[in-house]
Amino acid sequence: MEAVVFVFSLLDCCALIFLSVYFIITLSDLECDYINARSCCSKLNKWVIPELIGHTIVTMLMLVSLHWFIFLLNLPVATWNIYRFIMVPSGNMGVFDPTEIHNRGQLKSHMKEAMIKLGFHLLCFFMYLYSGSRCPCQSVEPQLRELWKQDPRCSSVLQSLAGLAQLPFHTSHTDDSGVRNKSTSASLDLVFL
């Protein structure tokens, strides 16, 4: 279950990273006058709600799966996205308004916000990647150890794999007569660390 949570969070985070980069590119195009304010704001406003939904889903998913640290890390950004969406004045086109984007340094503040979100999503990406890579190993390792101890065929396969990797290896298993056989060499505990 945890692995599924982190894989979904990782994919969602990738989408949010690409969205942050899109915001930065579009805002820098407006800053350099490659596009006009109306087309820039309409492009960006189209992606405000998907960004809001994507980040809120991950935040709630971390709450439901009881990953408190990651939930508390995501909560301020999700709250800021919701606040920014709710506090849009009634006459504006959206979060990004073409009549106000050049006033009072709003373009710079939107650019700074997009950069901060990009850094945040990159940090979350590596956190989800690390957390997701730890989840399956913890649940599979005891099963592999038990299988390795019980089945002599598995130990011979592991022994041949250790030979290919030139790792020291030893096994002990019981043959059909009930006698405990022991193969030579050191230990495979390195594989299971």
Please report, for the chain, the start and end positions of each structural domain, with discontinuous segments joined by +.
2-140, 151-182
Task: Count the Cβ atoms, other than its own, within 10 Å of residue 169.
Answer: 22
**Which pLDDT does position 133 carry in this prediction?**
78
pLDDT computed for residue 174 by the predictor = 52
Structure tokens of 192?
């299971």
What does the pLDDT read at residue 185? 42
In three-state secondary structure terms, 44 is helix
Coil vs helix vs strand at 174: strand
pLDDT at 130: 87
pLDDT in tens, 20-43: 999 999 999 999 989 999 999 999
* pLDDT tens digits, 115-129: 999 999 999 999 998
Helices vs. strands in the chain: H and E counts, helices first: 6, 2
Residues of the chain with pLDDT under 70: 135-193
Q: Measured on CA atoms in the order 75, 61, 13, 124, is the torsion positive or negative?
A: positive
